[in-house]
Structure 1
Amino acid sequence: MNNNQYQLDKVVILSRHGIRTPLENTIAFLEKSSPFKWPSWDHAYGYLTTRGGVLETFFGHYLSQWLEQQNIKLTPENPDIYVYANSLQRTVATAQFLVAGAYAGYDIPIVHKYTIEKMDPIFDPSVKNDSSEIKQKVLKEIEEADQKEAIFKNLAPAYKMVSDILDYPHSQLYAELKCDFADIPYELHFVKNEEPELRGPLAIGICVIDAFLLQYYSAFPKEQIAWGRITSQEQWQQLMQIRNHYIDLVFHSRTIARHNSKLLINKIDDLLHNKNYKVNLLVGHDSTIAALLGALDFAPYQLPNQFENTPIGGMVILQRYRHVTSGKYFFKAEYVYQSFEQLYTGEAIDINNPPQHYQLKLLNATPNSDGFYSWHDFEKRIKDFQP
């Protein structure tokens, strides 16, 4: 790519929070799913951990180096950055650690609208409209995705693996349901002001796998990570199919994605037109990223060296470039994230030991020979969501 002809003009970064503890509303559920005792945590449930904060500091340091490489250098006198986070501890804390790693000592406010632990509507994945018409659209999209990919059939080996790791047949949950893990009935929970859920083995599976993942990313002793029952990368890869399919079906599907992303996309549009800040950092969740990519018609992707499609601490960087010769604007989007191994080892990342970069593609748009899209191709997608 002839990148010398393109000058980075503005970025909007949407980051998922860093490593946290399991969510409080899953704890009782997890305990019912297995006769084994789950490891304890030394932070409140749903909070960013100390290790998570350290890794975000590393990421922030790398981010400032990468921006400087692109000729965007912030100074203490002119900290040309706007930071906005969902009003939960893990998202606000992630923003704080990112900024500390990138620009320690600079006077950069972390903006959040509400008291800690109150969800900001911009990042809220809850159902906005639970009309039967919308629900039927969502169900149809799930059914079409399943027919296209044979998702539920293909997940049978992963469900069997989860059941074996949990020793599910000897759990309280099995005693209540009296059926194999894969045969737990599916049901779409779609109620206004509540998070959508595809209840059944997919929902149970994502709760369980998230707990295992957080143990792994937190470098628990190997005998504590899934009680020592995950011993290979191939197992992780298979288990992660459950997590990725749940996120895809529940948050990335077109109807939910467009409904959930409207406020966020309007916020991004405002930031793109705000001349005060070249760098804009938003901190939300995996559901936020999945919905945004679905709403703006990004192509399906598989991130190298990562099993998660929306890895913890990862960020989507929306980039506007000015072509030096023509003065025209161009668009590029990258997923920047730590690999599965980098998260486990907790090693420092910087410009010499960088995180992973993966360029995202737009559906129904063609990049130029240098790999950049016309800015108009991206902007018209944003404009579709204007009030």
Structure 2
Amino acid sequence: MINKHYQLDKIVILSRHGIRTPLQNTLELLEQATPFKWPKWQHPYGYLTTRGGALEVYFGHYLSQWLETHNIKLSVIAPKIFVYANSLQRTVATAQFIIAGAYAGYDIAINHKYPIEKMDPIFDPSLRDDSPELKQAVLHDIEQTNQVESIFKNLASAYEVLSDILDYRHSTLYAKHQCPLADIPLKLHLEKNEEPALLGALAIGASAVDAFLLQYYSAFPKEHIAWGRINDLAQWQQIVQLRNQYINLICHTKTLAKHSATPIINTIDNLMQQDNTVNLLVGHDSTIASLLGALEFETYQLPKQFESTPIGGKVALQRFRHLSTGEYFFKAEYIYQSFEQLHNGQVLNADNPPQHYQLQLKNAAINNEGYYSWSDFEERIKSFKIN
């Protein structure tokens, strides 16, 4: 519902890339976790797929329609669109497809800094510091969640379901560890210039679930999705918890979130000072999770989705101007395709929109119309300023 008392003045859309193939660095681990053969893909590992591109075209078309409902029209803003992606194939290609769907035929540059497949520091979750102090702070954060034991207790049934799907008891990994999947020891990996990781049971679970989700979103035949061993949405709901909790612990906890998100938050702050009306940034689930953690958004559960950072999902950071007072306000929405919209490859438009979920800030006052003071949010993002 559009509030006619407010005009959308500026927006930064932070998108996760669209549907990709599995990541090569997880293949060896996945092959050890099951006696079954993993399917071959028609694209290189970690690349946006053709289907992923098509769905981003649909998403781009919808976004242009949605912006028009806010009186942000291409005829006015064409020179005021800025697009920047991480320098990986899947992120650059996602940006290209979004813009093709939104503004086909217009000369809108897709900016990225490095040759394809070189990670841009703005989007790179790798540690820039591995000091004992940082490591201690990360351990403290995880312990302070006061949830670690309850998290893994709550994941027990998810591990059981995943073990059955993988037939883990007949795998190389079981022969090596001789224990249930859930009991494979966890090890926090924090090394400079490498991505933080929680090795062991949770990493195995998250990687396997990611591979199954990509099969499902790519509309593999039912008998080829997890070898036909996932039979209902209840199983999906259980096993996706493993992936969500991995991302939460590695990307969303306080110290790691701040460490990872500071470059992207500084980029967003800079963009908000520029003339561009629409800004599109394309990164990863880690980019979104760390941003939401660092800026202290409330915990959320996205309706009609099991993933907390769904593939192709977009966080829209919006600045509104109150038409009568001229005062600026802030609103954030997660705009994403539902679990079934992704699986069915549905065209997105006003009649079949993606899901919209308003994100809430911790420790911030919201007015009766659902907006935060822009100055409060601006103060929050400027606290991350790198001198």
Q: In the alignment, what sits opposite 2:5? A: 5
Q: For residue 348 of structure 1, what is the aligned residue in structure 2?
A: 347
Residue of structure 2 equivalent to 1:303: 302
Task: Tell me how many residue pairs correspond in the alignment.
Answer: 386
SS of corresponding position for 1:350: coil
> 8 Å contact 1:58–1:348 — kept in the other structure?
yes
**Cα displacement string for residues 145-171 of structure 1 (whole angstroms, at most 9, x for unaligned residues):** 253771011111111111111111111
2:24 corresponds to which residue?
A: 24
The amino acid that maps onto 2:164 is D
- Seen in structure 2, the aligned counterparts of structure 1 residues 40 and 76 have a Cα distance that, compared at 3 Å, is farther
SS at match of 1:164: helix
Structure 1 equivalent of residue 327 of structure 2? 328
What are the ranges of 5 or more consecutive residues in structure 2 without an aligned counterpart?
Answer: none
SS in 2 for 1:320: strand
CA apart distance, 1:144: 2.4
Report how far residue 2 of structure 1 moved. Answer: 7.6
Task: Write the mapping of 1:199-348 to structure 2, written as runs, cut at 5 A.
Answer: 199-275=199-275, 277-348=276-347
Residues 130 and 191 in structure 2, CA contact (< 8 A), matched pair in contact too:
yes
- Letter of the 2:82 counterpart: Y
Deviations 1:36-56 (A, max 9, x none): 011111100000000000000
Amino acid across the alignment from 1:379:
E
Q: Within 5 Å, which residues of 2 pair with 1:122-141? A: 122-141=122-141
How many Å apart are 1:75 and its aligned residue?
A: 2.7
CA distance in 1 between counterparts of 2:230 and 2:202 reads 19
Aligned to 2:49: 49
Quote the offset at 1:139 in angstroms.
1.1
Q: Quick one: distance in 1 between partners of 2:80 and 2:74? A: 6
1:143 aligns to 2:143 (yes or no): yes
Q: Give 3-state SS (helix, strand or coil) of 2:332's partner.
A: strand
Farther off after superposition, 50-59 or 170-179: 170-179
Please name the residue that 2:73 is paired with: 73
In structure 2, the CA distance between the partners of 1:2 and 1:48, relative to structure 1 (3 Å rule), is closer
* Amino acid paired to 2:88: L
Distance 1:330 1:311 in 2: 27
In the alignment, does 2:374 pair up with 1:375?
A: yes
Structure 1: gaps spanning 5 or more residues: none
Aligned to 1:87: 87
2:13 is paired with a residue whose SS is: strand
1:118 aligned partner: 118
Aligned counterparts of 2:228 and 2:76: Cα–Cα separation in 1: 48
Q: Which runs of 4+ in 1 moved over 4 A?
A: none
SS where residue 352 of structure 2 aligns?
A: coil
**Normalized against structure 2, the TM-score is what?**
0.98
* In 1, Cα distance between equivalents of 2:279 and 2:229: 42
| CA offset digits 1:282-304 (Å, max 9, x no partner) | 00000000000001010000000
CA RMSD of aligned residues (A): 1.2
Q: Give the secondary structure class of the aligned counterpart of 2:361.
A: coil
Structure 2: distance between partners of 1:12 and 1:351: 21
1:24 positional shift: 0.8
**TM (normalized to structure 1)?**
0.98
Task: Tell me the residue number matched to 2:106.
Answer: 106
Cα deviation, 1:238-270, whole Å, max 9, x if unaligned, reads 111111111111000010010111111111011
Residue 212 of structure 1, CA deviation? 0.3
Q: After TM superposition, list the pairs within 5 Å mapping 1:153-192 onto structure 2.
A: 153-192=153-192
- Cα deviation for residue 76 of structure 1 reads 8.8
Partners in 1 of 2:123 and 2:2 — Cα distance? 36
Partner SS for 1:322: strand
SS of equivalent residue, structure 1 residue 223: helix
CA distance in 2 between partners of 1:37 and 1:155 (Å):
26
User: Which one-letter code corresponds to 2:326 in the other structure?
Assistant: G
SS in 2 for 1:110: coil
Looking at structure 1, the residues matched to 165 and 371 of structure 2 have their Cα atoms a distance apart, in angstroms, of 45
In the alignment, is the contact (CA less than 8 A) between 1:2 and 1:370 conserved in 2? Answer: no
Q: 1:367 to 1:32 in 2, by over 3 A?
A: same
Letter in 1 for 2:120: D
Distance, in Å, in 2 between the alignment partners of 1:45 and 1:349 is 27
Contact 1:76–1:106, Cα closer than 8 Å, also in 2: no
Distance change in 2, residues 1:314/1:149 (3 Å): farther
Q: Secondary structure at the match of 1:367?
A: coil
Deviation at 1:104, TM superposition (A): 0.2
SS in 2 for 1:370: coil
**Quick check: 1:33 aligned with 2:33?**
yes
One-letter code aligned to 1:252 = H
Q: Contact conserved, 2:2 with 2:70, CA < 8 A, in 1?
A: no
Please tell me whether the aligned partners of residues 329 and 371 of structure 2 are also in contact (alpha carbons under 8 angstroms). Answer: yes
- Matches of 2:166 and 2:284 in 1, distance apart? 27
C-alpha change, 1:2 and 1:124, in structure 2 (3 Å) is closer
State the distance in 1 between where 2:77 and 2:232 align. 50
Return the alpha-carbon distance in structure 1 between the equivalents of residues 236 and 201 of structure 2.
17
8 A Cα contact 2:19 2:311, kept in partner: yes
Question: Are the equivalent residues in 2 in contact too, given 1:79–1:106 (CA < 8 A)?
Answer: no
- Structure 1 stretch displaced more, 163-172 or 53-62: 163-172
Partner of 1:150, secondary structure, is helix
Q: CA deviation at 1:177?
A: 1.8
